[in-house]
Amino acid sequence: MAAADSPGAAGPSRQRYRVAIIGGGPAGCACALALAQHGVHDVLVIEAGDYAQFRIGESIPPEANRLFHALGIAQDFFAEAHAPCHGSCSWWGSDKRGYNDALLHPLGHGWHLERSRFNGFLAQQARLRGAEVLLRASLVASAPAQGGGFTLELMLGDLAHPRPASIHADVVVDASGTRAVFARQRGSRKVETLPLVCLAMRFAAPDAPRSGLTHLEAVEHGWWYGAHLPDATLLLAFYSDAATVKARRLQHAAHWLEGLAAASNTAALACGAVPLAGGVQSFPAPSYCLEQLYGDGWLAIGDAASAYDPVTSQGIVKALANGMAAAGAIAGHAALDAVAQTVAQRYADYLAQRQQYYGWEQRWPAAPFWRQLHAGALAD
Ligand SMILES: Cc1cc2nc3c(=O)[nH]c(=O)nc-3n(C[C@H](O)[C@H](O)[C@H](O)COP(=O)(O)OP(=O)(O)OC[C@H]3O[C@@H](n4cnc5c(N)ncnc54)[C@H](O)[C@@H]3O)c2cc1C
């Protein structure tokens, strides 16, 4: 049974849990899977969605294979038949094509995921290993409980028929993605740098030759991303800052398509592909770290803790690794603050890496997008 088919809108089976994980994305599911490996089975995963909607964020590097093996789900993941990604080709810093291929990578190739199916797969694996996964259930409020742990107020079901529920958890893991819902309820704030906007369009491309590569192309006002996905669609996305998007009205399909036509290497991918209904979809792509990553009985992981610019393609492996580290700490093998320190250090490394990536592109020093990125700060 697929996770999305499960009776997710039913309420929690009990009132008390050792661990409640808010969010059933890669971070939350990896945490539940790793907790099961440590023998902690009294775990509730609370997920607002049901894995039925399109989800962006699909390129994962070879490092993911090591994490799938460590989580004990590698063979089941391979059987899901997502599309192999053999590396990336880019036009970045010059108009000559560069390659970063995974041919000789010791961990093999990476993947282009059908992302919602991947998230549903992780949730189903967590359920098979004993976690209770509640779908269409949102955390709405929380408070420290007398005697320790937290009382969590949930809303179950869809907006038309919401039902409240209340549980107690000794430990709470905030894996709610960029909403960071539990950490913000504890008073933690995001320290943001360089937020980008992603404008994506999907195309039907059943007969297109598949390169098996991630395509990146820097242009004057941002950069393009392209990947063929396992469901025979092509995803093309343009990344820029909010001010440039607004000034150039790039969220309108006509302007977006004009921009695509001018990015000749990316446009070549779309040759013969047919746009799917839905037009240009806009996604915030923030970059931040929480100022407070943990507290007494709680810890934030994945995008709830720190979000990376998609240019790195590191968000999912970071989420999986954080989930595994959090589980080790909850099982008593490390302190919560040691996990938080790792998250903070990795974020600092990411900031340096991103500065280096954007520094490699020097062709448009006067363009607002590149000028701000080189200066290390974007306007709101
Ligand atoms: C435009 C874009 C493109 C990206 N591309 C890539 C890429 O190619 N490769 C890559 O590795 N990363 C990419 N990323 C980043 C990647 O998607 C994230 O880093 C990753 O999803 C983080 O996983 P997570 O489990 O921490 O959070 P999420 O995947 O966001 O999961 C959080 C879950 O929490 C649930 N939730 C939220 N609020 C509540 C609540 N109140 N109660 C219960 N549940 C709740 C949500 O429904 C969601 O399922 C991209 C990001 C963006 C914005």
Centroid of ligand 1 to alpha carbon of 262 (angstroms): 31
Identify whether the C-beta of residue 136 lies closer than 8 Å to the C-beta of residue 152. no
- pLDDT score recorded for residue 101: 82
Q: Let me know if residue 99 belongs to a domain.
A: no
- Any atom of ligand 1 within 6 Å of the Cβ of 113: no
Q: Let me know if residue 303 belongs to a domain.
A: yes
Q: Let me know if residue 94 belongs to a domain.
A: no
- Any atom of ligand 1 within 6 Å of the Cβ of 179: yes
DSSP string, 291-307: S--EETTEEE-HHHHEE
| Tally of structural domains, the chain | 2
- Any atom of ligand 1 within 6 Å of the Cβ of 134: no
Q: What are the CA-CA distances from residue 124 to residues 33, 34, 128, 135, 323 (Å)?
A: 10, 14, 6, 11, 16
- Give the residue whose CA is nearest to atom 7 of ligand 1: 57
- Give the residue whose CA is nearest to atom 14 of ligand 1: 57
- Give the residue whose CA is nearest to atom 33 of ligand 1: 23
Element (H, E) at 245: helix 242-248
- pLDDT score recorded for residue 370: 96
Residue 64 sits in the same domain as residue 164: yes
Residue 56 sits in the same domain as residue 140: yes
Domain CATH for 209: 3.30.9.100
- Any atom of ligand 1 within 6 Å of the Cβ of 109: no
- Any atom of ligand 1 within 6 Å of the Cβ of 283: yes
Burial of 153 (0-12, 13-18, 19+ CB in 10 A): middle
- pLDDT score recorded for residue 215: 96
Tell which of 285, 314, 337 closes a domain.
285
Centroid of ligand 1 to alpha carbon of 217 (angstroms): 24
- pLDDT score recorded for residue 338: 95
Enclosing domain of residue 234? 196-285
- pLDDT score recorded for residue 9: 58
Nearest to 142 by CA among 153, 157, 131: 153
Residue 81 sits in the same domain as residue 227: no
Residue 35 sits in the same domain as residue 176: yes
Residue 187 sits in the same domain as residue 113: yes
Identify whether the C-beta of residue 73 lies closer than 8 Å to the C-beta of residue 83. no
Q: Let me know if residue 75 belongs to a domain.
A: yes
Mean pLDDT, each 10-residue run in order, the chain (380 residues) = 47 96 98 98 96 95 97 98 94 93 84 97 98 97 97 90 94 98 98 93 86 94 96 95 96 96 95 91 97 97 97 96 98 93 96 94 96 71
Residue 36 sits in the same domain as residue 111: yes
- Any atom of ligand 1 within 6 Å of the Cβ of 139: yes
Centroid of ligand 1 to alpha carbon of 177 (angstroms): 5
Tell which of 285, 302, 320 closes a domain.
285
- Give the residue whose CA is nearest to atom 31 of ligand 1: 25
Domain CATH for 152: 3.50.50.60
